[in-house]
Structure 1
Amino acid sequence: MVVLESLDYYFIFGFFTITLIIGLVVAKKSGKSSSEYFLSGRSMPWWLLGISMVATTFSTDTPNLVTDIVRNQGVSGNWVWWAFLVTGLLTVFVYAKLWRKSGLSTDIEFYELRYGGKPAKFLRGFRAIYLGVIFNILAMSAVTLAAIKIGQIMLGISPLETIAWAGLVTVIFSTVGGFKGVVYTDFILFFAAMIGGVGAAYYCINLPEVGGMSGLMNHPNIADKLNIIPDLSDPDLVITLLIIPLAVQWWSAWYPGAEPGGGGYIAQRMLAAKNENHAIGATFFFNILHYALRPWPWILVALSSLIVFPDIASIQQAFPNVAESKLGHDLAYSAMLTKLPSGLLGLVLASLIAAYMSTISTHLNWGSSYVVNDFYARYINPQASQKRLVNVGRISTVLLMTISAGLALLLTNALQLFNIILMFGAGTGLIFLLRWFWWRINAWSEIAAMISSGIISILFNFTALGSFFFGIEDQAGRFTEGILPSWSTYPMVVLITSSVWLAVTFLTKPEKKSTLLNFYKRTAPGGPGWKRIINYANSRGKNLQDPNKDWNVPAGILATLTGCIVIYGSLFGTGYWIYGRYPEAILATLLVFISTFFLIKLWAKIKTKVF
């Protein structure tokens, strides 16, 4: 526990005050209609939406998660989420303009645009509750869990006190301010979070126990943790940390903020953009900040923590009041922050509060949009007035916060929940990529993928069957050697799930031609996957655009690969400059400049002309 001084309190209460003021100022306009409350009238610029996206994905659990990964698997362990850059850039250069052209209010509404009949109606309603309530509550619980740990380590306050203070302010401004309040506060909270993160990293590296960058780089505790690329001499490590994420995970998994083809709160921001180009610009700006700019301050604190707190026992010894159920390597980040001096401590605490508030507020508004637009207004009260819809949104916001806070009290660590969410979405991602470009996918395809992914994940991860095949823990906590290597669990879930939904696709009837034609007219995805539908329409005098004419998806895929070089090069180059490995740093930097030049050329082929 640390002792806060007056300057620290000024920073903390200053951010609380600013946040509440913004929420109250925009409350009147946000309450005019559900479109204003959830999408701010579709008038947001790219730079504001991009910063809002990155602020949302920077939460109190994010540095804890990165710390947990680095302490257990080293820097290269972060490939488990770095691999999602590929799908992130596909969203930028291929899917962003499709989402904006669709004119939907939420990405869940997509189901009744792309599919028809009772299966589409079921999908929309079920996914609204499944993602907007169940998965959303899980994600918010992880964020609140991190806030609880920070409160225990740094302030010595109980979990209930943390939830009462941080949760109350967040739910107030989220409820009254709507989407516009969330985005405006995200802008301020992002800069607070970044300044706090960089300041904490600089101070922690220069602690006497660490001894600056030279002391950090040469300390035996981190000698095997520094590699950005996994040790190529260890096949299991390379497969687990590099090959599976880059070859399978990025396209096959559903995870909030990194959905293949875009979705969730990323789609919400694309739908709120001024036009298609602003949607593309927002998502690209987000990916640059998320992957290239933000990770290194957290990584440096995590590496420093291995010197100051080399194991969990040392953390427990330093903080004996922390509940045993909350002990884990992720606590090391909060433990390091207790070393900060007055002023900087207040700024960092304010930045963590900012990170918590930006993420929770987004999840509350996003989840509430599903409840209102895709469940209540669709199934309960289709004739509801705009005022009533806004009020239902506000009530659901409060309920989502309350339930997620209760669940957070039962969790142990952020990595635990990350792996559960990742596994339950395994195998469904390919459908989200192909459903825009292949007419044959139907509602039953998505239903089969959703159900089979959940069942197979449970069988392989939480039963004796999984222990037998993959050598993982069974329900009794026993660990046994499986007949297959443990790293094959995820690919097997993906393979079986993908096989199931592909089989169901061909065994069930395709969607009606009228549904498919309506979808194509509205979004014009193009490509050979729609050729049969285009030929059908043209044969009946309904002249539609040639699916291959001006189809810029190949240019989008090339831009995705080039963008990966730009951002990965920036990520690696920054690391090598920090490590003092100057030849590699110079090479990575040159690669970034060259690939940026080519990416600018490709942008001219992708962007939409706006008159």
Structure 2
Amino acid sequence: MKLSILDYGIIVTFLLSVLLIGVVVSKRSGKNSSEYFLSGRSMPWWLLGFSMVATTFSTDTPNLVTNLVRKNGVAGNWEWWAFLLTGLLTVFVYAKLWRRSNVNTDMEFYELRYSGKPARFLRGFRSIYLGVIFNVLAMAGVTLAAIKIGGIMFGLPPLHTVGYAALITVVFSAIGGFKGVVYSDFLLFFVAMAGSIGAAYYCVNLPEVNGLDGLITHPNVVDKISLLPSWSNKEMIISLLVIPLAVQWWSSWYPGAEPGGGGYIAQRMLAAKDESHAIGATFFFNIMHYALRPWPWIIVALTSLVLYPDLASIKEAFPDVTNDKLGHDLAYSAMLTKLPSGLLGVVVASLVAAYMSTISTHLNWGASYVVNDVYKQFVKKDASEKELVNVGRISTVLLMAISAVIALLLTDAVQLFKYILMFGAGTGLIFLLRWFWWRINAWSEISAMFSSGIISIIINIEVVKNSMFGDAGIFPSWGQIPFVVVVTTIIWLLATFLTKPDEDKTLFNFYKKIQPGGPGWDKILQRANEEGIDIVDKEEKWAVPLGIGAMLLGCVLVYGALFATGNLIYGKYTDAIIFIVVTLVSGGLLVKVWNKMKNNFL
């Protein structure tokens, strides 16, 4: 596949624009570490919201969606659609708490919430665990997608693709810092959306597909378009709907969908002007991420079933693809080879945009942990601001290099997605409760983190996996995550009650600063009252019940918009109107609940 002069012109113009943004903001970003990692906490909600959407608009996401759709139909996306519950709980309960904490990273939170050496250890270890290990795995998944796109569309060897992608992105990320990432994300979002919508429109109108009517009635597609798994298939209902909605959303840690907020989502909330901007940004992100953006990818995935119904047809069309990279996720890139000149340039630019946005965010986020939570805390406490910025830039380059090496060893995005989910299974409940239950301490998190990882490794050893979760095993295959969650929860609860609680001084200070409220802090409020220490803001009411109500209404709104959009695409206009009405009614009710919440804490 060859690019025309027009295509090259579009791509080069786009890359120069992004690099220009990085250069323009580089001077201010390098001023100090707060500017480099949080842009001086001055960002408006809409800019942060677009940045969150662009960051999760990754090159591996369309590949992941394509894989899910080809294997389990559109309903297969419930594996990640269920995380909307996590996202909206963050919006209406945790966003204001994060912004009030005023920490530089979510790792710094540990020494605000917990006390003593365990808190210090947890901050340092988890900074490496998440900021380096998990972070490079996530980036490796994104880079793997770039490798597959480069191989399918241009016949590039994996090493060449990694080299080109890494060089451009790491230069931009290192010089621009967080401000450069956020400003460029605004541009990257529109380029990425234009590319994905353009690709979907062209693919669905290919002669082989014959428009939307031809697509949804095609024998390869007709049983794949349902937004819900078939009720006659018990295993699919449990694995795609019951487990994600009943267990996975609150129990598993996953980048961008952390229970209670965290990672680069927390970084953006901390960079917001104030609490209302933090909430607005995360709400905007969740609407775009779940209700609207997936549909162009889904349409391309469905069209791929017409042209490439199985792996053999993909292999036949692209014989140069090695067997270790062959998977259903390649079908997305395969469909893009059909695009005409001009549109191809836009789509390639959109894929580059998706890659740069995600990787630059992960690099800046990971480097913020290395600088603020490792180097500044354990290596050189009196480091100058200039030195911290330089360490951040060096860390950015090293994180990129490590993730690129790992990407060359991976096979498919779904494999990585499921491993990350399982490694974080069982830890989510702590992240939700630690704000509202005083008894949780650093040992709770340490025990959960280690037990979840160790149990996940053990049950994925082939002998254990087959004996416990195989067809003839003790548990069905979908039982892995619930098993890890139950065992991990038992372990961290035991660790909580077998270890000493945090010091009263730490708990008093935390409550006074955050004002979390709720019955989980009654014992601490009683102690503070006995000692004559005032830690309660009497003008603020506990907003969590209203926040949960807003979360549920928000879920109805977003899922309603998701189903309305799908039914409009399928031509089921009566169903679409019903879901539009549901969306509007839930939106109206949400506005009323939100106004009550604002009176409580804003």
Question: TM-score, normalized by length of structure 1?
Answer: 0.97
Question: 2:544 is matched with which residue?
Answer: 553
Please name the residue that 2:202 is paired with: 203
**How far is 1:79 from its partner?**
0.3
Using the TM superposition, name which of 543-552 and 239-248 deviates more.
Answer: 543-552
Alignment partner, residue 391 of structure 1? 390
State the match for 1:602 in structure 2. Answer: 593
Contact residue 88 and residue 554 of structure 2 kept, 8 A: yes
Shift of 1:463: 3.9
Give RMSD over aligned pairs.
1.2
Q: Distance in 2 between matches of 1:152 and 1:505?
A: 50
What is the DSSP-based 3-state SS (H/G/I as helix, E as strand, rest coil) of the residue aligned with 2:220? helix
Partner of 2:486: 495
Q: Cα offset for 1:461?
A: 1.8
Once the two structures are TM-superposed, the CA of residue 290 in structure 1 deviates from its matched residue by 0.3
Q: Per the alignment, in what secondary structure is the counterpart of residue 222 of structure 1? A: coil
Q: Note the C-alpha offset of 1:544.
A: 2.5
The aligned counterpart of 2:252 is: 253
Change (3 A) 1:222 1:189: same
Residue 242 of structure 1: how far off its partner (Å): 0.2
Cross-structure match for 1:446: 445
Cα offset, 1:607, TM superposition: 2.8
CA distance in 2, matches of 1:310, 1:19: 37
> Residue in 2 aligned with 1:570?
561
Give distance in 2, aligned partners of 1:546 and 1:343.
59
TM-superposition CA deviations, 1:514-568 (whole Å, max 9, x none): 1111111111101110011011101111123279961111000000000000000
> Is the 1:526–1:548 contact (alpha carbons within 8 Å) kept by the matching residues of 2?
no
Rounded Cα–Cα distance in structure 2 between residues aligned with 1:361 and 1:147: 14
**Secondary structure of 1:221's partner?**
coil
Superposed CA deviations along residues 191-214 of structure 1, whole A, max 9, x for unmatched, are 000011001001000100111111
Offset at 1:608? 6.6
Partner of 2:85: 86
Q: 1:567 to 1:592 in 2, by over 3 A?
A: same
Distance 1:469 1:323 in 2: 33
Amino acid at match of 2:377: R
Contiguous gaps of at least 5 residues in structure 1: 472-479
8 Å contact kept, 1:534–1:546:
no
Whether the aligned pair in 2 keeps the contact of 1:56 and 1:186 (CA below 8 Å) is yes
| Among 563, 572, 582, the residue aligned to 2:573 | 582
Matches within 5 A, 1:5-404: 5-404=4-403
4+ residue runs over 6 A deviation: 608-611
Alignment-mate amino acid for residue 534 of structure 2:
N
- Stretch moving more, 256-265 or 549-558: 549-558
Task: Give the TM-score normalised by structure 2.
Answer: 0.99
Distance apart, 1:459 and its partner CA:
1.5
2:521 is matched with 530
What is the distance in 1 between the residues matched to 2:35 and 2:597?
A: 29
1:408 aligns with 2:399: no
Q: Aligned partners of 1:541, 1:547: CA distance in 2, in Å? A: 15
Matched to 1:509, the amino acid is: K
How many positions carry a matched residue from both structures? Answer: 602
Q: Secondary structure at the match of 2:107?
A: helix
Pairing 1:521–2:512 present: yes
Q: Note if contact 1:76-1:229 (Cα within 8 Å) is conserved in structure 2.
A: yes
- The verdict on how the C-alpha distance between 1:578 and 1:406 changes in structure 2, with shifts beyond 3 A counting, is same
Letter matched to residue 336 of structure 2 = L
CA distance in 1, matches of 2:294, 2:538: 40
Deviations 1:414-444 (A, max 9, x none): 0010000000000000000000000000010
Offset at 1:466?
Answer: 2.4
C-alpha deviation, 1:333, in angstroms: 0.1
**Aligned ranges for residues 412-423 of structure 1 at < 5 Å?**
412-423=411-422
- Distance, in Å, in 1 between the alignment partners of 2:50 and 2:276 is 16
Amino acid aligned to 1:533: I
Q: Is the 8 A contact 1:439 1:533 kept in 2?
A: yes
After TM superposition, the structure 1 stretch with the greater mean CA deviation from structure 2, 222-231 or 69-78, is 222-231
Q: 1:455 to 1:608 in 2, by over 3 A?
A: farther
Q: For residue 167 of structure 1, report the CA deviation from its aligned partner.
A: 1.3
Aligned partner letter, 2:423:
F
User: 2:264, 2:154 → 1: CA distance?
Assistant: 32
Distance 2:363 2:85 in 1: 27
Query: Do the aligned partners of residues 249 and 525 (structure 1) sit closer, same or farther apart at CA in structure 2, a change above 3 Å counting?
Result: same
Q: Structure 2 CA distance, aligned partners of 1:502 and 1:610?
A: 31
Q: Report deviation, 1:159.
A: 1.4
What code does the residue aligned with 2:380 have?
N
CA contact (8 A) 1:51 1:190 kept: yes
Q: Distance in 2 between matches of 1:548 and 1:220?
A: 62
Q: Which one-letter code corresponds to 1:593 in the other structure? A: L
Give the C-alpha shift of residue 106 in structure 1.
0.2
Distance in 1, matches of 2:303 and 2:465, equals: 37
Q: Which runs of 5+ in 2 are unaligned?
A: none
Whether the 8 Å CA contact 1:364–1:400 is kept in 2: the answer is yes
CA distance in 1, matches of 2:231, 2:61: 27
Amino acid corresponding to residue 552 of structure 1 in structure 2: A
Q: Is the 8 A contact 1:91 1:261 kept in 2?
A: yes
Give me the whole-angstrom Cα distance separating, in 1, the residues matched to 2:323 and 2:339: 25
What code does the residue aligned with 1:112 have? E
